[in-house]
Structure 1
Amino acid sequence: MPWFVKIEEGKVDKPTFDQYVPAHKAYIQDLIAKGHKARTGYWAEQRGGMLLFEAASKEEAEAIVADDPLVKHGCVNYQLYEWRIVME
């Protein structure tokens, strides 16, 4: 399956953002359980983060991102890219 990367930047204040973090973590756990090999994290130096995951197609990747609680609640701006691995 292809890999996809969602690069995101926070656009709400920290208290608003933080209230959706538990739902985001649960969502990522569900993606892992469904076999998407999801990984998520945030940048140490600035606001924002990244979600890395596998999906069958760009359309599925877009649907996955749309269901992320951080996206659904307007907490982040993001870009979605297909990542082509050259070496493992």
Structure 2
Amino acid sequence: MPWFVKIERGIVDKQTFDQHVPAHCAYVRKLIAAGHQARTGYWAERGGGMMLFEASSLAAAKAIVEADPLVQHQCVHYELHEWCIVEEPR
């Protein structure tokens, strides 16, 4: 399956954002359980973060991102990119 990256930038105050983080983390756990190998995190040096995951297509990846609670509650602006892996581990 192709890999995708959601790069996000927060657009609400921290208190509002933090209200939706537990739902976002639960959503990522559901993605992992469904086989999407999702990982999520934030930039230490500035606002924003990233989610890396597998999906069957760009359309499927967009649907995954649109279902993320941080997106649904309009806490972030995001970019979605397909990530082409150059070398796999041996």
Same fold by TM (over 0.5)?
Answer: yes
Gap runs ≥5 in structure 2: none
Partner of 1:29: 29
Q: Which secondary structure does the structure 2 equivalent of 1:19 belong to?
A: helix
Q: Measure, in 2, the Cα distance between the counterparts of 1:62 and 1:21.
A: 20
Identify the residue that residue 73 of structure 1 maps to in structure 2.
73
**RMSD (CA atoms):** 0.3
Counterparts of 1:62 and 1:7, CA distance in 2: 12
Q: How many residues align?
A: 88
Give the TM-score normalised by structure 1: 0.99
TM-score for the superposition, normalised by structure 2: 0.97
Match of 2:10 in 1: 10
In 2, Cα distance between equivalents of 1:57 and 1:82: 9
What letter matches 1:61 in structure 2?
A
Helix, strand or coil for the counterpart of 2:29? helix
